[in-house]
Amino acid sequence: MKQLKERIEDHIVNISDFTATPGKGTTRLTYSPEDLQTRNYIKEKMKEYGLKVREDGFGNIFGKLEGILKDAPSVMVGSHFDSVPNGGAFDGPAGVVAALEVAALFGKNNVTPKYPLEVVALVEEEGSRFGGGLMGSRGMVGLLSDEDFRSLTDKDGITTEEAMVKIGLDPTLVRRRDPKTMKAFLELHIEQGPILEEKKIPIGVVEAIVGLTQLEVTVEGQAGHAGTTPMDRRADALVTAAKIVSQLPGLADEEGERTVVTVGRFNVFPNGANVIPDKVVFSVDIRSGKEANVLNVIEKTKSLISSFNENGIKTCVEELLYIQPKELNQGIRSLLKEKSEELQIPYCSINSGAGHDAMVFSDYTDVGMLFIPSKNGLSHCPEEWSDSKDIAKAVQIFYETAKNLTEAE
Ligand SMILES: [Zn+2]
């Protein structure tokens, strides 16, 4: 039997061949011919590893290792296998491959779990074909109704069900999964950022998936001639906005705990070189793994902004989006750290700045998540790369954790 790292490398290479854009990264849209090739590969490996294979009415794939207990909830391990257009070979598949190898270790070591172990490969996490994203996981837990699922179409007007049928999937299969059938969900994902690589640490134990707030700030002043209006007679919306923006990073620093603030969109009106700006509209994106941090920074941002309401300046803040941070299960986080220590694998705590299927499941079952380093922090591009050695480390940690959660003897 090949070494774990080599086996992982083989899987990644094999799966990366299933792309619609050879030589230009991985393009694997949901229910495409490349989806079918990947699906067949995953199902074949599941069977090879002694798992009972099943698909649901979304085309999510499940490979189950039965436990001693009948009809008991499963400890699920997995991730998604779709990609963005011209993406990388690791975003998604790294987690599916890790899950397959966790199951393989159960078989290889003749471990019989008390609770079933299930390898899960999810569709349409990226939303690249039907939009929205997280479709496989959201559908499974009932956050996407049958009606809404059926009405989704791709850019050519092809519906989800038509696309499924085209690659031989059965859309009449059961879609919803009772949360009572899930005992836990473990997901390995590439970090898609620079932190682990910089720290030279192979494993990040995800503490929380960050919440997201988007504010839209409007600063209004008075337009005027750039040449004839004296400096002390101006209500310059841009100068005020610039003062506000320059103070925002300080609010995040003050809050600490990896709280981040970003102004990424900035529009000046009327945007003429010789006109004093009378209006500026900009975005403020606030993220943190802890809701209290997010709420504090929102409060401080609002009061900072309103403090500029004088001398002809009028400000207004609108909250466009608020998504709560999701703290992952405390018990599983501890277990992942404990197993890393036992295996002498260095790890650190990390927050996920992006949404994942794990985030969806965290409202329905106990969820744990590991990150591995991304080379140069790159993702969603052909250069995306992670070391199979690191995936192998995650497999070992998940194997020990899964033995514990399935109460294997
Ligand atoms: Zn992903």
**pLDDT digits 0-9 by tens, 234-289:** 999 999 999 999 999 999 999 998 899 999 989 999 999 999 999 999 999 999 98
User: Distance from the CA of 312 to the center of ligand 1, in angstroms?
Assistant: 47
The residue to which tokens 């499941």 are assigned: 361
Nearest CA-CA partner of 187 in 48, 329, 45: 329
User: Distance from the CA of 313 to the center of ligand 1, in angstroms?
Assistant: 44
| Rg of the chain (C-alpha set) | 24
User: Distance from the CA of 208 to the center of ligand 1, in angstroms?
Assistant: 16
Q: How far, in Å, CA of 336 to CA of 361, rounded?
A: 18
AA letter at 45:
K
Q: Please, what is the Cα angle at 25 between 24 and 31, to 5 degrees?
A: 115
Quick one: pLDDT at residue 212? Answer: 77
User: Distance from the CA of 293 to the center of ligand 1, in angstroms?
Assistant: 26
User: Distance from the CA of 92 to the center of ligand 1, in angstroms?
Assistant: 5
Q: Provide φ and ψ at 340, rounded to 5°.
A: -60, -45
Whether cis (ω within 30° of 0) applies to the bond prior to 277 is no
Q: How far, in Å, CA of 117 to CA of 115, rounded?
A: 7
- Which tokens is 392 given? 């192998």
Quick one: pLDDT at residue 294? Answer: 93
Whats the size of the chain, residue-wise?
A: 409
Phi-psi region of 71 (alpha: psi -120 to 50; beta: other; left: phi over 0): left
- Which tokens is 250 given? 């300080």
User: Distance from the CA of 139 to the center of ligand 1, in angstroms?
Assistant: 17
Q: How far, in Å, CA of 63 to CA of 50, rounded?
A: 9
Residue ranges, the chain, pLDDT below 70? 1
Determine contact, residues 63/53, Cβ cutoff 8 Å.
yes
The residue to which tokens 């709280």 are assigned: 259
Determine contact, residues 387/94, Cβ cutoff 8 Å.
no
DSSP track, 273-334: TTEE--EEEEEEEEEESSHHHHHHHHHHHHHHHHTT--TT-EEEEEEEEEE--EEPPHHHHH
Q: How far, in Å, CA of 263 to CA of 282, rounded?
A: 7
User: Distance from the CA of 125 to the center of ligand 1, in angstroms?
Assistant: 7
Q: Provide φ and ψ at 392, rounded to 5°.
A: -60, -40
User: Distance from the CA of 185 to the center of ligand 1, in angstroms?
Assistant: 15
Q: Report the b/e string of 277-286 with b at 16+ CB within 10 A.
A: bbbbbbbbbb
Q: What is the pTM of this model?
A: 0.83
Quick one: pLDDT at residue 189? Answer: 98
What secondary structure letter does DSSP report for 51? P
Quick one: pLDDT at residue 353? Answer: 84
User: Distance from the CA of 96 to the center of ligand 1, in angstroms?
Assistant: 11
Quick one: pLDDT at residue 1? Answer: 54
Q: Using a CB cutoff of 5 Å, list residues around ligand 1, an ion.
A: 91-92
User: Distance from the CA of 89 to the center of ligand 1, in angstroms?
Assistant: 10
The sign of the dihedral angle between the CA atoms of 148, 41, 376, 77 is positive
User: Distance from the CA of 154 to the center of ligand 1, in angstroms?
Assistant: 20
User: Distance from the CA of 381 to the center of ligand 1, in angstroms?
Assistant: 12
Determine contact, residues 373/348, Cβ cutoff 8 Å.
no
User: Distance from the CA of 235 to the center of ligand 1, in angstroms?
Assistant: 46
Q: Which residues, in sequence order, are bridge partners of residue 184?
A: 75, 366
User: Distance from the CA of 90 to the center of ligand 1, in angstroms?
Assistant: 8
Residues whose CB is less than 8 angstroms from the CB of residue 120 and which lie 6 or more positions away in sequence, other chains included: 60, 61, 62, 76, 77, 78, 79, 99, 185
User: Distance from the CA of 38 to the center of ligand 1, in angstroms?
Assistant: 16
User: Distance from the CA of 211 to the center of ligand 1, in angstroms?
Assistant: 17
Residues whose CB is less than 8 angstroms from the CB of residue 84 and which lie 6 or more positions away in sequence, other chains included: 27, 91, 126, 128, 380
Nearest CA-CA partner of 82 in 111, 121, 108: 121
User: Distance from the CA of 126 to the center of ligand 1, in angstroms?
Assistant: 7
